[in-house]
Amino acid sequence: MKRPKILVVGSFVMDQTATTRVFPKEGETVLGETFSKAPGGKGANQAVQAARLGADVTMVGKLGRDANADEMLYVCKKAGIDVSHVTFDEKIPSGCAVIILEQKPSEDTKNRIIVLPGTNMKITKEDVAFLKDSISDYDMVILQLEIPMEINELVAKYASEAGVPVMLNPAPSAPLSDELLSHITYISPNEHEAAALTGVKIDHEGEKFNRSQAKEAAQKLFDKGVKNVLITMGTAGAVLMNEKETIFSPTINSIKAVDPTAAGDSFVSSFCTGLCAGWNLQDALDFSNCVATLTVSEKGAMPSLPTLEKVKKFNEEHGFKIPDTRILEK
């Protein structure tokens, strides 16, 4: 059996994380608890997660000539990712982020993030031109919004013309052109990003959400040409909709959330990996919920992304059904 072959075009970001018991107010200084650095970036996170789950992954992005770049490339290579198409800028530093985690006793961790794009916004059309002839080699293309929009539009166009499905994770939130949306097979916003894209707020409380509002939001994206809409809603779970069916997967609450950083990236990437492994939509959705649950149980972006072995063990311990993973096992 041939392992799923996934292309990720996206960002590299070195995360610098500080924990505190309370977010500082405007003009206020507070004493923090801990500080750490870890490789991240939505693109690199998604690439590493897919690779750790067993997919054959190629990453396209841009780095600076600095120590952060060396560290981020090392983690990707260790995961088995093909980084031969990662390019470098000689003057601009690699992307980085400042993350503040608010950790209050007996409460889930909350985060605030500032991303400094650096070289991520220096990817050029020439850097991805090779994909026009080779993109058909892949089973899925994953995109996000931490790189120039024109690059996403170009890669999505290449993929669509070659009949390769495209997953767009529209984060951080930004306006999307009709042309880009017309080339998207799967779009995966959270409820806030969905509202920004469609103007439809999806009310939810606890494990319940307003299904009619979710369908209204999805229909606006269907009208733009998107084939499948996958909306994540925190404690209310995730719902996938297309013109034929609506599929729901509840949140798994058996593990305490320690750090939500990279949970969305983990969810999107594992969903795509499951689809490329031949699973049906429900199985891929349930699997991605399990993977994201494990991700939030540990600190850091890439350090928290679980391996396939860890996911399988988690499913066995909690009695969750997991699809046939033999195609993902190296």
pLDDT digits (tens, 9 = 90+) for 17-59: 899 999 999 999 999 999 999 899 999 999 999 999 999 999 9
Give residue 311's identity as a one-letter amino acid code. Answer: V
Widest Cα–Cα separation across the chain = 58
List active site positions: 265
**Prior bond of 172 cis (ω within 30°):** yes
Position 159 pLDDT exceeds 90: yes
How far is it, in rounded angstroms, from Cα 59 to Cα 286?
25
Measure the CA dihedral 269/271/275/281, to 10°: -160
At 249, list the tokens. 């997967």
Position 84 pLDDT exceeds 80: yes
Position 252 pLDDT exceeds 90: no
Which residues does residue 272 pair with via DSSP β-bridges, in sequence order? none
DSSP per residue, 41-109: -HHHHHHHHHHHTT-EEEEE-EEESSHHHHHHHHHHHHTT-B-TT-EEESSSPPPEEEEEEE--TTS--
Domain ranges of the chain: 5-328
pLDDT digits (tens, 9 = 90+) for 257-297: 777 777 899 999 999 999 999 999 999 999 999 999 888 87
At 47, list the tokens. 């690439």
Which residues does residue 168 pair with via DSSP β-bridges, in sequence order? 143, 187
The continuous run of DSSP H or E covering 39 comes out as strand 34-40
Contacts of 116 (CB under 8 A, 6+ apart): 95, 96, 97, 98
Q: Which residue has the higher pLDDT, 125 or 236?
A: 125
Residue 267: phi and psi, rounded to 5, are -60, -50
What is the fold of 5-328?
Answer: UDP-N-acetylmuramoyl-L-alanine:D-glutamate ligase (3.40.1190)
- Mean pLDDT value across residues 205-223: 92
Q: What is the pTM of this model?
A: 0.91
Contacts of 28 (CB under 8 A, 6+ apart): none
Position 72 pLDDT exceeds 70: yes
pLDDT confidence band for 1 (50 / 70 / 90): low
Buried b or exposed e, range 228-266, using 16+ CB within 10 angstroms: bbbbbbbebbbbbbbeeeebbbebbeeeebbbbbbbbbb
The continuous run of DSSP H or E covering 283 comes out as helix 281-296
How far is it, in rounded angstroms, from Cα 61 to Cα 320?
36
Give residue 117's identity as a one-letter amino acid code. Answer: P
Q: Output the pLDDT for position 30.
A: 93
